Amino acid sequence: MSRRLLLIRVYNLFSLPLPVKLFLSYLFVVLVGAVPTYFYLKQLFLSEFMNDAVARVAGHAQLLGDFLTREPALQTRLTELEHLAPIMTERITYIGVSGRPLFDSSLDDLHGAENQLLKPEVARALGKMPQDEAFNGQEANTGVSRRFSETGQVETLY
């Protein structure tokens, strides 16, 4: 008898009114469709945001490169970079042929800076590494990398 009473109580626990059952079924259907859509749109927007950021930074780098190549003297280039760096939102690193940084807008002391030729974005720009498939439509002689910045302690787009 106690077993039958227990089954009746369990059955009564799950017997919900029709409007509640309809609401829960609609909620389930909406969630089944919304969850995959959320993850798809999240990835799509992140990808588009990264591609837009790459295009914007590549355009700024091209303009800066064109501006700096007009001036043949290295010291004048470095002086121009010192004037431009405070008004630019991007970090600027100007490297020499050996890979040693000659200017960095986020570092005051360049003596401890590592060789930039070892960085993936520099190797890609020099054609020594294949371009990253995650960033579509990269310009020629442009290297892009998304990695953790030891200097800034945050994931950064280079």
Confirm if 143 and 116 have CB atoms less than 8 A apart: no
Q: For the beta carbon of residue 107, count every other beta carbon within 10 angstroms.
A: 14
The answer on pLDDT for 23 being more than 80 is yes
Domain that holds residue 46: 2-157
DSSP 61-73: HHHHHHHHHT---
- Residues 100-121 pLDDT 10s: 888 888 877 777 778 788 887 8
- Domain tally, the chain: 1
- Residues 34-78 pLDDT 10s: 999 999 999 999 888 888 888 888 888 888 888 888 888 888 888
The answer on pLDDT for 33 being more than 80 is yes
Please name the amino acid found at residue 110: L
